[in-house]
Amino acid sequence: MEFCAIRIDERLIHGQVATAWTREVNASRIMIIDDEVVKDSVQKMALKSAVPMGIKLSIITLEKALANFSLNKYDGQNVFLIVKDPKVLVNLKKADVNLDEIIIGNMSAKGDSKVLYRTVSVTNKNIDDLKYLVDEGVKVNLQMVPKDKKIDVKTLL
Amino acid sequence: MIGIIVTGHGSFASGLKSSVELIAGVQSDVSYVDFTAGMNTDDIKQALNESVESMGSLDQIMILSDIKGGSPFKAGLEIAMSKENITLFGGTNLPLLLECSLSRYGADDFEVFVNTVEKLGAEGLSRFEMNYDDDDED
């Protein structure tokens, strides 16, 4: 499974993603992998409303995603993966899914989190997950909108 | 290259500027002209003229105004009538402006570009139809 782009963004699909990123990465499908969102009809409705015209949408669990990947279900599509939590990407990596580069957009402040950079706050658990990905050779960069310069997360952790 | 001038009553233009830049970053060859309390029709025309002049090297300029028939629109109309390369819109919304800003780089046919952004801007204003079909779980 190859993705045309991978993003960590707690707001999932919103203005920056729907307008600027989807175009920038030439996505034909936006894929949300999140076990909680799958169960939440309100969030799902809001996500459907935000998908640009002509772009397909998947909101699926990790288990379903891995099953679909093994069936080569998305061959020939430009899949733009968006997750809320880096944990999902760790699990994909552990399942041998190819992750080349990850872009971090928005991660909001939580209980014990600290600000990494502007709109990106991370918990200790997030830091462990990001370090795992970096150690596995995945490029992890912060970039809010395509016009912003990328910041290598290694310089911030 | 296509330049864009956004203009409207009050802080319409500067408000759209902050929205566009939050969503898509700072855009080149886009200027924002507010028509604020205390300005008269000559002032807005002069301000628009200055923006047009500053874009003198561009092939095409789009003036996106807030409402057809308003003073910013009429000032834009006077300028558009005196120049060949100006296209004027009324009823500008954020979807129209974003579409113009982001898709103008790949536009080789200006007429096709204008028709496309007009259509998408108009479609951007819509009531959202609730659809509970689970067609997204694949």
ipTM confidence score = 0.72
Q: How many residues does chain B have?
A: 138
The structural architecture, per CATH, of the domain B2-114 is 3-Layer(aba) Sandwich (3.40)
Give the residue from chain A lying closest to B129, CA to CA: A49
Q: What is the CATH number of the domain that holds A108?
A: 3.40.35.10
Tell me, yes or no, if A41 comes closer than 8 A to chain B by beta carbon.
Answer: yes
Residue for token pair 């203005």: A15
CB contact under 8 A, B130 and A16: no
CB contact under 8 A, A16 and B137: no
d(CA A143, CA A145): 6
Tally of domains within chain A: 1
d(CA B55, CA B64): 15
Domain ranges of chain B: 2-114
**In terms of residue numbers, what domain contains A145?**
5-155
Residue A14 among the catalytic residues: yes
Residue B136 confidence (pLDDT): 61
How does pLDDT run across B29-78, given as a tens digit for each residue? Answer: 999 999 999 999 999 999 999 999 999 899 999 999 999 999 999 999 99
CB contact under 8 A, A145 and B98: no
Burial class (CB in 10 A: 0-12, 13-18, 19+), B83: exposed
Q: Which of B24, B132, B137 sits opposite A20 (nearest CB)?
A: B24
Chain mean pLDDT for chain A? 95
Give the residue from chain A lying closest to B95, CA to CA: A19
Helix (H) or strand (E) run with residue A116 in it: strand A114-117
Token code pair at residue A3:
């993705």
Query: What predicted TM-score, i.e. pTM, was given to this entire model?
Result: 0.84
Helix (H) or strand (E) run with residue A101 in it: strand A101-104
How does pLDDT run across A106-120, given as a tens digit for each residue? Answer: 999 998 899 999 999
Task: Give the model's confidence band at B129: pLDDT under 50 very low, under 70 low, under 90 confident, else very high.
Answer: confident
Has residue B133 got a pLDDT over 90?
Answer: no
Whether the CB-CB separation of A103 and A7 falls below 8 Å is answered with yes
Share above pLDDT 90 across residues of chain A, in percent, rounded to a whole number: 87
Task: Give the model's confidence band at A141: pLDDT under 50 very low, under 70 low, under 90 confident, else very high.
Answer: very high
How does pLDDT run across A55-97, given as a tens digit for each residue? Answer: 999 999 999 999 999 999 999 999 999 999 999 999 999 999 9
